[in-house]
Structure 1
Amino acid sequence: MVIINPWSKRLVPVIGILTARKKDGSIAGNGTLFIELQKKLISLNGVSFIFTPDGVHEDSIDGFIFIPEKNGWERINSPFPDLVYNRIPFRRSEEELKSSTFFSFLKEKNIPFFNPGFIDKSELYHLFKNHPFLHTFLPETIQANHKHKLSAFLSQYQSIYLKPSQSARGNGIFKLELDTQKKVYIKGLQENDEFVTFDYFWKEWESKLREKNYLAQEEIKSSLYDGKRFDFRILAHSENDHYQVTGIGIRQSQVQDITTHIPSGGRLLPYKQLQTEEHDIFIEAVVEHIGKALTEKFGFFGEFSIDIGLSQSGQYYIYEVNSKPMSFDETDIEERKIEHLCQLFLQLTGNKTN
């Protein structure tokens, strides 16, 4: 059943959540997030629907709305929303969208677009490298597409990480190590290999490093807790032209030390176990600087997450910034996320509920 224009009088703020389709044609994305946003928005006298780029027409959008009373989704045809929240989960889908007429539609209708898109690690590094505050907290990083530069970089640090410029959740990350005999060892989540010399490594890996636009990053000797490395995982949102910390979690490596991500075997720890006043002050400051830097460079960022490490010498390091944060396993952080997102939606749409 198709509901035509379910909010014809437009007395409430309408949020359009933009996602994409999987290869089989089904709707992709974080269904739980979409449902919780709809429930919260309804309680605040708002409403949301999800849609994909193929559902966009010149004057309306075909999409889906979650009906809590029925605990299910229904098809709708809606006017353009008051705000579009970008949750496209695939980089390729987002790139295809950029070449469409969708953004010209939004501009014509003066509709805010919440979060410009995925962040390229190389662009992010250069943005922060030139920032008066953030540059202090970056591991040394180079492009991994030049044989002699990469060889010299590995010789300098002995142990480095290789990261694709366009990836998330620890996908495609490898650790590259050089021993005293000039042997090269490469370690990943699923595979390990060794090479007699760097030349042999480069011969096998050159095409992959270039194709995926890999970066090489010095390994930071991480501070340990119970003998294992850990990272801070921080969620942040915009509020009244500033950026605030929504939640902080700790992710600790267990069976491998390449990444602390839980899907890769990492362990969750409550922030209060390692919390200090110094950590609090630094995290609040870095969130504000990162939020403003991203928005000035790429367009309005309403939310993001940050992975921050702490070295054995007590130096903080920014490892990753994610424009479309994964769900946090901490339920209290997820609840605050929903609350902050919905309040931000209302703020950006002019608080139609008032």
Structure 2
Amino acid sequence: MSIFYDFELKNWFTLNKQSKTLGFNKHPVQMVSSAPARSLFFPISPKEEVPLIGILTGRKKDNKVTGNGRLFKELQKEIMKNGGLSIVFTPQNINDNSISGYMYLPTKDKWYTVQCPIPHVIYNRVPFRRIEKSDSFYEAYQFFKSKNIPFFNTCFLDKHELYQVLSKDSYFQKLIPETIKICEKSPFQTFFQKHRQLYIKPSLGSKGKGIYLASLNKDSTIQLQGQEELLLYEDFHTFWLKWNSVFLKKSYIAQKAINPLLYNGKRFDFRILVHYVNNQFNVTGIGIRQSKEQNITTHVPNGGIILPYKQLQSEKHDQFITELANRAGKLLSKQIGFFGEFSIDAGITADGKYVIYEINSKPMRFDEQEIEKKRFQTLASLFLELAGL
């Protein structure tokens, strides 16, 4: 069985003798005896109601559509296996009763411009924070909200706002290093003197970019270590004069540095992928990232290396990660908005205590192929669950 798109009529049809609908508004898929020449066939086995998943992305400054093309392709393949379709679109592509966008056809490995009814579910994969702050994104969000269409993954997470949410919960209070937003010289200096060693991070950063390890030495000098540089300042005042404009302009946080447990002499972190499944948040996959040349970040783009979780796995770790995932998902969805997918960066201190560093609402690709494969399968199933199909 297939359904097909007629480029001339900009509508959907089927050769099946049973009536079908497509999208949230149950747009009729018309039955015809033959397809016109300019048609796009999608080889799926549609049920009575064909699931349609909208993948919301954005445009670059040159107006070209951007986003994680590989993710979009793999999701289309999985969704088609489940008798549905997905369409990639931007906030500017929304009309009252339809959206225009781009649909991937795996048999030809090509993207095509199509027009579709309103989707059952919206998966937010807008790649830049500036787009999420735009009027067009806000209007798109309100449009789908007004129709009670599930909006999957509300927004990017701000590190300081995340800390504020987590610090008010008794379970997470003991897991997160003390953190402040860098706003004024005096409170920051007091915080620095209290902890002596801090991680300084951009609140809106990702992939380990812009992170520094700042150390206050006994002689009052300050050492600032980046991923590729080491700077020294004679005192806090000199350090503040040099950096305050950067910290204040881009919004930075200061976080107490922990003394991490080492494996083969290097720090390591857990990378935990979580999805909402059957009314709870389950762990889809766990990877280990270990620093190699520097101990500031374990991210692979910054020189980190990949280790299999089974190399450090224990029953205690399993129990902690399972509980952490479910609690984090419930808290985030209650306090910020629904997050059907997120990842957590967690670690262990030298004295054996668990700690969490980050929660990411739009996880990067996992290098472990088995985790990525399970991710696509889980997402496709979750979309159908949210669509009520």
Same fold (TM over 0.5): yes
1:281 aligns with 2:281: no
3-state SS of paired residue (1:194): strand
Change (3 A) 1:99 1:85: closer
Q: Distance in 1 between matches of 2:8 and 2:225?
A: 52
1:182 aligns with 2:194: no
Q: Which amino acid aligns with 1:6?
A: W
For the aligned residue pairs, the C-alpha RMSD in angstroms reads 1.5
**1:15-51 residue CA offsets vs partner (Å, 9 max, x unmatched):** 0000011223222111111000000110110110100
CA contact (8 A) 2:91 2:137 kept: no
User: Could you tell me how far 1:152 is from its partner in structure 2?
Assistant: 2.1
Report the counterpart of residue 34 of structure 1 in structure 2.
72
1:140 aligns with 2:178: yes
User: Could you tell me how far 1:101 is from its partner in structure 2?
Assistant: 2.4
Q: Which amino acid aligns with 1:61?
A: I
CA contact (8 A) 1:184 1:197 kept: yes
1:208 aligns with 2:214: no
Q: Distance in 2 between matches of 1:181 and 1:196?
A: 9
Higher relative contact order (CA 8 A, sep 6+): 1
Q: Which amino acid aligns with 1:24?
A: D
Question: How many pairs were matched up?
Answer: 351
Q: Of 231, 234, 240, which aligns to 2:278?
A: 240
CA contact (8 A) 2:131 2:137 kept: no
**1:153-206 residue CA offsets vs partner (Å, 9 max, x unmatched):** 222222111011111111211111111211111121243321111100101111
Q: Distance in 2 between matches of 1:275 and 1:298?
A: 32
**1:245-300 residue CA offsets vs partner (Å, 9 max, x unmatched):** 00000000011111000000000000000001000000001111100000001121
User: What TM-score, normalized to structure 2?
Assistant: 0.87
Report the counterpart of residue 383 of structure 2 in structure 1.
345
User: Could you tell me how far 1:80 is from its partner in structure 2?
Assistant: 1.0
CA contact (8 A) 1:2 1:75 kept: no
3-state SS of paired residue (2:60): coil
Report the counterpart of residue 222 of structure 1 in structure 2.
260
**Gap runs ≥5 in structure 1:** none
Change (3 A) 1:191 1:243: same
Report the counterpart of residue 21 of structure 2 in structure 1.
9
Report the identity percentage. Answer: 45
CA contact (8 A) 1:3 1:75 kept: no
**Gap runs ≥5 in structure 2:** 1-6, 14-19, 23-48
1:130 aligns with 2:142: no
Q: Distance in 1 between matches of 2:202 and 2:75?
A: 32
1:330 aligns with 2:368: yes
Q: Of 298, 308, 314, which aligns to 2:336?
A: 298
CA contact (8 A) 2:145 2:151 kept: no
3-state SS of paired residue (2:66): coil
Q: Which has the larger radius of gyration?
A: 2
User: What TM-score, normalized to structure 1?
Assistant: 0.96
Q: Which amino acid aligns with 1:316?
A: Y
Q: Which amino acid aligns with 1:176?
A: A
Of 152-161 and 328-337, more deviation after overlay is shown by 152-161
What is the 5 A alignment of 1:42-81? 42-81=80-119
